[in-house]
Each structure stands twice: as structure tokens, then as C-alpha cells.
Amino acid sequence: MAMDPEGGFGQIMSMARGFQVAKMLMVAVDLGLFDFLAEPKSAVETAAWLKADARGAGIFLNGLAALGLVDKSGDYFKNSELASRYLVQGSENYRGAIIKHIEHTWERGWKDLKETVLLGHPPQADPEKWLDARPERDEAEVRAFTWGMHAIARDLAPQVAARLDLSGVRRLLDLGGGPATYAINFAQANPGLQATVFDLPMPLEIARENIGKNGLTDRVGALAGNFLQDDIGTGYDFIWISQILHSHDEGQCRFIIAKAVAALAPGGALAIQDFYLNADGVSPAGAAMFGVHMLAVTPRGRAYTHDEVAAWMQAAGLATPEFIQSGMDASILVAKKR
Ligand SMILES: C[S@@+](CC[C@H](N)C(=O)[O-])C[C@H]1O[C@@H](n2cnc3c(N)ncnc32)[C@H](O)[C@@H]1O
């Protein structure tokens, strides 16, 4: 689905058809097609495996080949290099959870986008109840969401661990740490460090699985709670908050930052990673698009500028934050407690 290089009407058509590509990928992942197409199969064999109509399967496979998700040779279809790298269940590198999570966000808000834009918040959300920013969802959704976060963070976390100076840090808190991807990488890169992952009970089950898989149960602990209501502990040398602020409103963000600063030991540091916007509100494009995603799926979340968050950090008693570009659209603000 190449954009029209001339910037003509073809570009508008590519945008309008964007959902077709997304839906094809989601259906293929949901059907587990890439598990079956690890070896070359015909459309008839694929239809039999799916217990599906041969016409539907044949047309769909040709479409997936056009997208580059499968390769076609004669009458046979097989995973492309890209699909075999990321979309085969059971492989250690499987990233299907994030595709399933993105699909869930259609029902969770995107389908109501017009009403949301007109109202300023999703129609089903009560913006007055600021504690319900993240209602507990059903287990399958939470699993897809939490392993989906791991699918995104697993490439970035080792780079972040290499960039942050955690040399003197003994106790680290990963607040809203989800699958514990960052806590695990921080512990692996810093042998003297003990980490605690704080999150709601369901995501913490996945954190525990991930910590166990990495053989770090003695150095990375899990603490269950709601950080808007419950005690998060105290005396930490370093607190890491990644991809949390954007799903909360400004008052909640200030509350979370103040709570983290209060939980730091004297001289400790707080680092906050997010999809920060530049002052123009438009760039980087990934952050602006993420802002729309938060409008669609949260009661009062949005993307914040690094200037806004830096000001809240200083108001909460931190020194002037240092800015670190971590991913293509993600960046970190880090500052010591004054
Ligand atoms: C977008 S994920 C980010 C996960 C991880 N920090 C990362 O960057 O990969 C947000 C996490 O915050 C957790 N979370 C959201 N609201 C929370 C609350 N009130 N108390 C505890 N955890 C919360 C979610 O369960 C989820 O694991």
C-alpha cells in the first residue's frame, strides 16, 4: 500500500483504505495462519486446515501475498521473512499480542471516534471520575495488552538500560511496569540493583511469568496495587515511569509524579518515558497520532509535551530534567530529587 509519491489523490485513497490492511493483518493473526504457513501450503490445504470456504481462503491468501506477509510460489503460500520473524506463535520472538491488543482498541473506543471528538471524551467514560482511568478488563484483554507492551518494549529496553546511568542504584521501582520488561533489563545491566515492579494484579501475573523466565525472581519483585490509591513503598534510589502519563489527565499526572518524588530516597532520581510532543503539538507524528489514540480509548488521556512534564517534575521538587531521545517517538525526562 504505497503512498502516492506525487502526493496526489492516491495519498488520500491510501489513508481511506488503511483499515483494510489493518483488518487483514488482525484476521490472519487471529486465525493463526502464520503458524500453518511456516511450510508451503496451497489455498485448498489452507482452507481445509481452517475448516473454511476455499474461495475465501484463496482470495485472502493472495491479498496477504500482495501485502508482503506471505510469499507465493506457483499455487503455494508460505510466510514471508517478516511474518516468520514476528508472527509465528510459540516462537520466542512472537509479537501477535500487540496486534490483538490494537484490535481490542477498536471496540474499546476507536469505533466511537466521531462522538468522542464531538464530546471531548469517549461517550461511555465519565470524565468526572478520575480514578477510573483504567478499569480492570477481562483477562484475555489484559494478557494481550500486557504481552503487547512487552512486544513493543523488548527491543527498546536494552538500549534504555545502556543509556541510563544506574551505577549507584540499589533499589529501583518500575511504576506501572506491566510485563516487567524494563525492570528485567535494568537488573540484567546492573548486577547490584534490586527492582520492584508495581502494577495492578492481572498484569503482575505476566510480570511474574516474565521475571521467572529470565531467572530473576531473587532480584526483581512484584508489588500489586493501584498507584492512584495505594502505597507504592519508599526509599527508592531510582523510579522509572514508562508509558503511563499519556493515559491520565493533567491532575492525575501531577499526582503520580508527586507520589513518586515522595517515594524517592534523598538524592534519588525519577525518569519518565513517554511519547512526548514537541511544543508545536504536531511532531513527532507518532506522538501526535498517539494523542488521538488516547483521546479514543481513555477518559482524559492525551500526549503531553516534554515542556509540560518537565515543569510538573520541577514543581514536585526535582532538578531541571535532562532530555534523552530513547526510541523513534519515545523519549525520557530524568531528574534528581533536590
Ligand atoms: C502502557 S502500559 C506500560 C507498561 C510498561 N511501563 C512499559 O513501558 O512497557 C501501562 C501500565 O500501567 C499500569 N497501570 C495503569 N494504571 C494503573 C494504576 N492505577 N495502578 C497500577 N498500575 C496501573 C497498567 O496495568 C499497565 O501495565
The answer to whether the CB of 275 is under 6 A from ligand 1 is no
Among 105, 131, 173, 243, name the best residue to mutate to test ligand 1's pocket (greatest count of ligand atoms within 8 A of Cβ).
Answer: 243
Query: Does ligand 1 come within 6 angstroms of the Cβ of 228?
Result: yes
Q: CA triplet 332, 313, 286: central angle to 5 degrees?
A: 35
CB-based contact 264:208 (threshold 8 Å): no
Residue at 63 is within a domain: yes
Domain housing 309: 102-336
Please tell me whether residues 65 and 109 are part of one structural domain. Answer: no
User: How many Å apart are CA 166 and CA 187, to the nearest integer?
Assistant: 10
Residue 97 within any structural domain of the chain: no
- DSSP character at residue 305: B
* Rounded (10°) angle between helices 181-189 and 139-163: 30
Q: Of the residues 60, 86, 112, which one is the last residue of a structural domain?
A: 86
Could you identify the atom of ligand 1 that is nearest to the CA of residue 152?
Answer: 9
More confident residue, 135 or 309: 309
**Res 235: pLDDT:** 98
**Ligand 1 proximity of 227 Cβ (cutoff 6 Å):** yes
For ligand 1, say whether the CB of 21 is within 6 Å of any of its atoms.
Answer: no
**pLDDT tier at 132, thresholds 50, 70, 90:** very low
- The structural domain count of the chain equals 2
Q: Are 130 and 250 in the same domain?
A: yes
Residues 58 and 207 in one domain: no
Over residues 164-200, the pLDDT tens digits come to 999 999 999 999 999 999 999 999 999 999 999 999 9
Phi-psi region of 74 (alpha: psi -120 to 50; beta: other; left: phi over 0): left
Q: Do residues 67 and 106 both lie within one domain?
A: no
pLDDT at 1 over 60: no
**What is the distance in A from the centroid of ligand 1 to the CA of 28?**
28
Nearest atom in ligand 1 to 142's CA: 25
CATH number where 296 lies: 3.40.50.150
Instruction: Read off the pLDDT of residues 280-289 as tens digits, 9 standing for 90 and up.
Output: 999 999 999 9
pTM: predicted TM-score of the whole model, two decimal places = 0.94
Residue that finishes a domain, picked among 58, 86, 114: 86
Per-residue pLDDT of 297-311, as tens digits, reads 999 999 999 999 999
